[in-house]
Amino acid sequence: MGHRATGSFDITRWDSSTYDQAEGAELAGIEVGKNWHGDLEGTSTARLLTALAQVPTSAAYVGIERVSARLAGRAGTFVIQHSARMTAEEGAGTPDVSVVPDTGTGELRGLRGDIEITRHEDGSHTYVFEYDLG
């Protein structure tokens, strides 16, 4: 990727609802709101699906998130896809977060890229967004 954006985001909404609780795992849906700061300035909403295993250190999530923001002085929207899992042996690992191809609108049309999200011990989040803007 040709460009790099860095910054942080704040979670402004976290509404979780369990929809299937049975032996082996609890399945839940979560609605998340964020404010993005830094090189990417804007807001987003996401819907996540989680599986929390009966072993507390094992879990997984997938999600789709629409971002409405300015990036490199250009305004528009785009969609990102999330996927992650954790186990006691492997730890939390790094979630796979990438722009869904051809979802960019406005001045962000043609956006491609991957976002590395880091959750810090104090609960804050930072990101590194490696992207191309065609």
| 74-97 pLDDT tens trace | 999 999 999 998 887 766 666 899
pTM of the model: 0.90
pLDDT in tens, 91-119: 666 689 999 999 999 999 999 999 999 88
Average pLDDT of the segment spanning 41-60: 93
**pLDDT value at 68 more than 70:** yes
Distance CA 81, CA 66 (A): 9
Specify the pLDDT at position 126: 95
Q: Are 69 and 36 in contact (CB under 8 A)?
A: yes
Specify the pLDDT at position 93: 62
Average pLDDT of the segment spanning 116-126: 90
Specify the pLDDT at position 56: 82
**pLDDT value at 1 more than 80:** no
Distance CA 4, CA 19 (A): 38
pLDDT in tens, 10-47: 999 999 999 999 999 999 999 999 999 999 999 999 99
**Facing residues of 87 across strands?**
91
Q: Are 69 and 75 in contact (CB under 8 A)?
A: yes
DSSP class of residue 100 equals: P
- Here the tokens at position 40 are 């990417």
